[in-house]
Amino acid sequence: MSILSGVSEFFGLDIGTTAIRLVQLKGNGPVKHLAKYGYIPLDSRLAMSDSKPDQLKVIQAVHELLGQARITTKNAVVGIPSQRVFTTVVDVDRLSPKELAKSIKYQADSLIPTPLAQSKLDWALLGDSPKDKAKVEILLSSVPNDFIEQRLDLLEASGLNVIAFEPDNLALARALIPAGATGPQMVIDIGNKTTDIVISVQGGPRLTRSIPTGAEAMVRTAAQTLNIDDKQAQQFVFKFGLNKDKLEGQVYNAVIGTIDILVTEIEKSIKFFVTRYGESAKIERIIVTGAASVLPEFPLFIANKFGISAEIGNSWRNVAFPADRQNELLAVSNHFGVAAGLAERIE
Ligand SMILES: Nc1ncnc2c1ncn2[C@@H]1O[C@H](COP(=O)(O)OP(=O)(O)OP(=O)(O)O)[C@@H](O)[C@H]1O
Ligand SMILES: [Mg+2]
């Protein structure tokens, strides 16, 4: 979905439901240096609201953030919330790049849920199809034009020049998965309202899922069952998490319903993946971020459940920075996966 190419300076912009975040990198080598980063909290109603006054508040917040982070370029690569994106992996005939583009366009209407005329289509060649030697597999994604146009209006009103849009989950995979990983890797990002799952093989996302539940649901249930306000519930949830021994398991009981929904989806994703790529396609590692990396015992719980090692992701793993900034940056790592991945794009 690149609108311009060859742009030298740009930043990655993640408009989440709890905050807006940005990351700008500099340099030309394979590992770029951190130039700037920043975030500004957002009322969780605003980011998804269609109302004009709410959108003005988002524009205002973007302005403030650009000022705070001392951003001077107008060029932005912008994340698209995964729940607005339809992504699928399909097998198509092996053709020349030009013919392939034509063929995909021709077939697209039967592959995406929205009418082609009302959708922005994007695709990337992944490699040989695991099912048919004569075919290649491609990652196809589509976003409704309405959403893209609304976002463009908002960002242009913020004085920005959008050089590309990219689904959040693809950016996450780029930032968090080790470049040298040979086996399949899974990323789980528990956001406020949605949880993203990605399975990637050698840098190519093969499966993405967006589940409409996240930290907010856990906090709300905890508030109700423990009969406390949301702020206290938030503190309890992120203090005790899935530890059954704390508070007589009351926090565990409050969050486990949401966790079970996620576990079911992870299970389905693994099954789907194995069905397509075979038993040898065993997930090597699960990388967690967002609320998943600060919810006590979540990585352990997932590792035990699936018998796959789980670790907390480092959003800055592909970014160079001075050693004395290590603590500051790692403390916010769980919030910056999307923005860092967008900034790491090669335009
Ligand atoms: N260190 C922490 N302590 C307490 N709560 C946290 C912490 N980190 C994240 N959270 C909570 O976890 C949730 C996920 O945070 P994240 O920054 O990923 O949300 P988001 O990107 O704004 O949400 P979404 O992707 O759904 O739009 C939020 O509800 C946030 O309040
Ligand atoms: Mg997010």
- Measured between alpha carbons, how far is 64 from 232 in angstroms, rounded to an integer? 29
180-313: what CATH class? Answer: alpha beta
Q: How far apart are CA 122 and CA 119, in angstroms?
A: 10
What letter represents residue 53's amino acid? P
Of the candidates 4, 153, 11, which has an alpha carbon nearest to the alpha carbon of residue 70? 11
Q: Indicate which residue's Cα is closest to atom 6 of ligand 1.
A: 291
Sequence-distant (≥ 6) Cβ neighbours of residue 56 within 8 angstroms: none
Q: Give, rounded to a whole angstrom, the gap between the first and last alpha carbons of the chain.
A: 11
CA of 290 to the centre of ligand 1 (A): 6
pLDDT at site 280: 82
Residues in the ligand 1 pocket, defined by CB under 6 Å: 16-19, 191-194, 214-216, 238, 290-291, 294, 334-335
Question: For ligand 1, atom 2, which residue shows the shortest CA distance?
Answer: 294
Q: How far is the CA of 37 from the centre of ligand 1 (A)?
A: 17
Residue 347 has a pLDDT of 73
Distance 233 CA to ligand 2 centre (A): 21
Measure 219 CA to ligand 1 centroid, in angstroms.
11
- Domain extents for the chain? 1-84+144-178+317-347, 180-313
The 8-class DSSP code of residue 191 comes to -
List, in sequence order, every beta strand (DSSP E) within 56-132: 75-80, 86-93, 119-128
What does the alpha-carbon distance between residue 344 and residue 347 come to, in Å, rounded to a whole number?
A: 9
Q: Distance, CA 10 to ligand 2 centroid (Å)? A: 20
Closest CA to 256 of 226, 222, 208, 300: 222
Instruction: Name the residue among 68, 67, 74, 65 with its Cα closest to residue 8.
Output: 74
Determine phi and psi for 30, rounding to 5 degrees: -65, -30
Can you tell me whether residue 79 is helix, strand or coil? strand
Q: Which of 13, 49, 192 to mutate to test the pocket of ligand 1 (most atoms within 8 A of CB)?
A: 192
Residue 313: predicted pLDDT: 98
Token duo for residue 286: 């699960």
d(CA 52, CA 119): 23
Domains 1-84+144-178+317-347 and 180-313 belong to one CATH topology: yes
Strands 185-190 and 195-201: antiparallel
Q: Give every strand in the sheet of 319-320, ordered side by side.
A: 161-167, 75-80, 11-15, 19-26, 32-41, 319-320
The reported pTM is 0.94
pLDDT in tens, the chain (347 residues): 444 455 579 999 999 999 999 999 998 778 899 999 999 999 988 988 889 999 999 999 999 999 999 999 999 999 999 999 999 999 999 999 899 999 999 999 899 999 999 999 999 999 999 999 999 999 999 999 999 999 999 999 999 999 999 999 999 999 999 988 889 999 999 999 999 999 999 989 999 999 999 999 999 999 999 999 999 999 999 999 999 999 899 999 999 999 999 999 999 999 999 999 998 889 999 999 999 999 999 999 999 999 999 999 999 999 999 999 999 999 999 999 999 999 999 87
Residue 279's pLDDT is what? 84
Q: Please report the pLDDT score of residue 2 as a whole number.
A: 42
Sequence-distant (6+) residues with CB within 8 A of 125 are: 100, 136, 138
Calpha distance 91→93 (Å, rounded): 7
Q: Atom 21, ligand 1: which residue's CA is nearest?
A: 16
Nearest atom in ligand 1 to the alpha carbon of residue 235 is 4
Centre of ligand 1 from the C-alpha of residue 5, in Å: 32
Structural domain 1-84+144-178+317-347, CATH architecture: 2-Layer Sandwich (3.30)
Q: Which numbered atom of ligand 1 lies nearest the CA of 290?
A: 18
Of all ligands present, the nearest one to the C-alpha of 47 is 1
Q: Which ligand is in closest contact with the Cα of 172? A: 2
